[in-house]
Structure 1
Amino acid sequence: MLLCVRRDHMEQNGVQEYHQLFGSKIHDNREAFEFLIVAVFQPGMSWKVAASKIPVFKRLFADFDYYRVAQFDDVDLEKIESDEQMIQNGRKIRAVLQNAKAASRLEPEFSNLADYFWSFHPMNSDQVDEDELGATVAKDMKKRGFTFVGPTTIRLLLTGMGIIDRKPTA
């Protein structure tokens, strides 16, 4: 029973953390990678399910340090895939490792992953086509070796990081 209560609390904390950060102006490297991991796992499930795993992602993916994750080997991959709290999708887990490698290759063109995402910030956010921006960034990411980065999930990532400024509707 205690394990179940602790797991529920941990999952609730992941949702609360994601909800608190969502829409903030995120310039932190680790938080940018955190949003990317949630974006990779989100397709096929609700954002709450993916966000609930943030504490698990943090533990298994080196506290969101993509430089360290880029160095993971097959032993690390097996450890992640066998963790009972992890979302059991080997393709998405391998995508996180691939994306960590791609993110670490952004330098020296960009100072870090957050800087890369912010390079797409529209000059006039009132006239931005969110779907088009998501598609543009996803296409660029794929050219740079990122995977599991579709236009819709990247649009949500850009919104979550505050790059796309969501105006409240009346």
Structure 2
Amino acid sequence: MKNYQWYSDQWGKPTKDDSLLFLLLIVGIFQAGLSWKVAASKRAVFEQNFCQLNIAKVAALFPEEIEKISQDPAMIRNPRKIKAVVQNAQAIIRLQADYDSFADYLWDFVGDVPLIYEYESSDTIINVVPAATMIAKDMKKRGFTFVGPIVTTMFLKAAGIIQDRVWE
């Protein structure tokens, strides 16, 4: 199995697992400017460098630890993206004052039911949907970064919160 197959297998399947949601967000951040295959193939590297996806531990990383991550030759060594992962972990921790989990926060936007967009053909699927734009704005207000409308749309689609249905 290819080292990015897990992402293809997960794509579009609804999840409420905060660790998996955090991983999917990390992939979304790192795929900006790259292919999803490159970013998804780094799952083991992300898990190793980001405390086995323990959100609280990632949120508490010190600048020296972040610098060490950026020196890992197996890592996608974009310091802005690495810092974004830490900042987003901190934002998730802050969310817990209002929500029990990252999943509860995200699923609350869609009333706990996947939001389905229907298309006549796969070539008409859009990469930014209005709901994701609204969620991205709210995430930014809450301190998230690297969560523009495209990254957020792809992240929400990967998590099954937003789904595409094609009637070809």
Superposition TM-score, scaled by structure 2 size: 0.88
* Higher fraction of helix: 1
Work out the number of aligned pairs and report it.
159
Whichever structure has more strand as a proportion of its residues is 2
Letter in 1 for 2:115: S
- Provide the secondary structure at the position in 2 that maps to 1:166: strand
Structure 2: which 5+ residue stretches go unaligned?
Answer: 119-125
CA-to-partner distance for each residue in 1:102-161, whole Å, 9 max, x for gaps? 111001211111211111226683569961111101100000000010101101111111
Matched residue, 2:123: none
Call closer, same or farther: CA 1:75–1:161 in 2, change over 3 Å.
Answer: same
Question: Does 1:59 pair with 2:48?
Answer: yes
| Matched residue, 2:146 | 148
Code of the residue aligned with 2:140 in structure 1: it is: K
Corresponding position: 1:25 with 2:23: no
For structure 1, list consecutive stretches of 5 or more residues without a partner in the other structure.
1-8
SS of aligned partner of 1:165:
strand
CA spacing shift, 1:23–1:105, aligned 2, 3 Å: same
Q: What SS does the corresponding residue of 2:163 show, helix, strand or coil?
A: coil
Is 2:97 the counterpart of 1:108?
A: yes
TM-score (norm 1): 0.87
Alignment root-mean-square deviation, CA: 1.9
User: Secondary structure at the residue paired with 2:165?
Assistant: coil
3-state SS of the aligned residue for 2:39? helix
Q: Which residue of 2 aligns with 1:134?
A: 132
For residues 116 and 80 of structure 2, the distance between their equivalents in structure 1, rounded to whole angstroms, comes to 37
Moved over 4 A (4+): 126-130
Equivalent residue, structure 1, for 2:83: 94
Partner amino acid, structure 2, of 1:49: V
Residue among 31, 38, 51 paired with 1:49:
38
Partner residue, 2:122: none
